Structure 1
């Protein structure tokens, strides 16, 4: 057998001892390492890197879904303090409430949620999410969905929504919420 066709195993790994290498969690680094392992025909390492990428992807999707759930929890309950804590800080954040123009910057976005949360809706309101999809690319993720919103005093109807999240210091924060009415 030609030496380059043999699978390579790092010292100690074959005996079940863990590698002393630092784990790599960055998606781009994992992809580079995977390509290198394939080129080097280090198929055991390539398989592990492939599995690490899958776990990272699944964990990122779950984390963005969790951040999206925190956003809707704050919205359902009219919880302004929670709403303040889940938004990224900065001028790059914005919100588009149904039928309204874009509101930019953390302070103005939170002011808009203060108005929404302060309206006489008898919180909690009911928000059912339909057709939820999540996509993550590196430190940015987004969720698309349809919101079916009902209050005790009325019905806001259906909105299509896009929520964009960014990862800051290993935590996901919403940076864009855009909701538009859907006419039935």
Structure 2
């Protein structure tokens, strides 16, 4: 089956020649059959070797071996892509073509190929983030904290678009702070509003750290130097003006033992250049909380405290240190 018509005729002639030759020299018929079978088997073996040699599988192995050596279809694809990229850049202008050629000559062919694949992916809409329903994307991003969400926005353009979505930052704000401001519409978006609220909450926490450390220098830097600043301690005393306020804190810090406050239920409201924070502070859980309000103003690129008001704790066993604190 593997031989052509010409080969069949040649084989018939060969068999006829051998038959006449053997009959002439008196060979028996059994030996003739053996010899004919041997010749036919040899010819079939040769045809089989040729069939295996030039089969499509052998061509596949050759192409794969060429690809492994850096040539073949892979090299053609890279060259075609590189040429295509250079041609497109040439159409854009001489400067773009020069930059693309320089990138290719300096070993940037891999990067150009990757960029081409990314462009192809975007054109076909193959990005998973683009295929998700916006509500699902927002829900998935709500499990991240704010540092992770910021880092996600710096990965690529698609992640930046998803991570900067206003609904994602609104959900994160409600998770980290409060639901009280659900009806608020921030001027610069929820991401900027979250950052401003986070800054105010951190400064408010710094205020209580200063009280624990009893650092009058840090307290002096925290307060805004103005005549209208006010401070109402738990004793009910009102101090007005920067100097009077700092002196009141100096008096409180002069006591031998510090005060460790436990701060709970922190609520912040931030405007353009002003913010206030309400909270409950506990010195002793048995005596109940102090209701505290701190007001801050934004000056010269940072937040300053301008008002502190602590509720008066009516308890005869509370010492003067706690009252002043």
TM-score bracket, shorter-length normalisation: 0.5 to 0.7
1:182 Cα deviation after fit: 4.8
Alignment of 1:1-184 (within 5 A): 52-121=188-257, 123=258, 125-149=259-283, 158-182=289-313
Q: Report which structure shows greater RCO (CA 8 Å, sep ≥6).
A: 1
Q: For 1:132 and 1:183, locate their aligned partners in 2 and report how far apart those are by CA, in whole Å.
A: 23
Q: Where do 5+ consecutive residues of structure 1 fail to align? A: 1-14, 16-46
Point out the structure with max Rg over C-alpha: 2
Q: For 1:51 and 1:132, locate their aligned partners in 2 and report how far apart those are by CA, in whole Å.
A: 23
- 1:37-71 CA-to-partner distances (Å, cap 9, x unmatched) read xxxxxxxxxx88x8952121111101111110111
SS of the counterpart of 1:146? strand
Identify the structure with the greater strand proportion.
1
Q: Provide closer, same or farther for how the CA distance between residues 141 and 84 of structure 1 changes in structure 2, counting only shifts above 3 A.
A: same
Identify the structure with the greater helix proportion.
2
- Which residue number corresponds to residue 32 of structure 1? none
TM-score, normalising length from structure 1? 0.65
Q: For 1:157 and 1:76, locate their aligned partners in 2 and report how far apart those are by CA, in whole Å.
A: 19
- Which residue number corresponds to residue 33 of structure 1? none
Q: For 2:247 and 2:314, locate their aligned partners in 1 and report how far apart those are by CA, in whole Å.
A: 28
Q: For 1:176 and 1:156, locate their aligned partners in 2 and report how far apart those are by CA, in whole Å.
A: 25
- Which residue number corresponds to residue 3 of structure 1? none
Supply the RMSD in Å over aligned alpha carbons: 2.5
- Which residue number corresponds to residue 7 of structure 1? none
Work out the number of aligned pairs and report it.
132
TM-score, normalising length from structure 2? 0.38
Q: Provide closer, same or farther for how the CA distance between residues 112 and 64 of structure 1 changes in structure 2, counting only shifts above 3 A.
A: same
CA contact (8 A) 1:157 1:181 kept: no
SS of the counterpart of 2:261? strand
Q: Where do 5+ consecutive residues of structure 2 fail to align? A: 1-118, 120-164, 167-185, 316-325
CA contact (8 A) 1:166 1:172 kept: yes
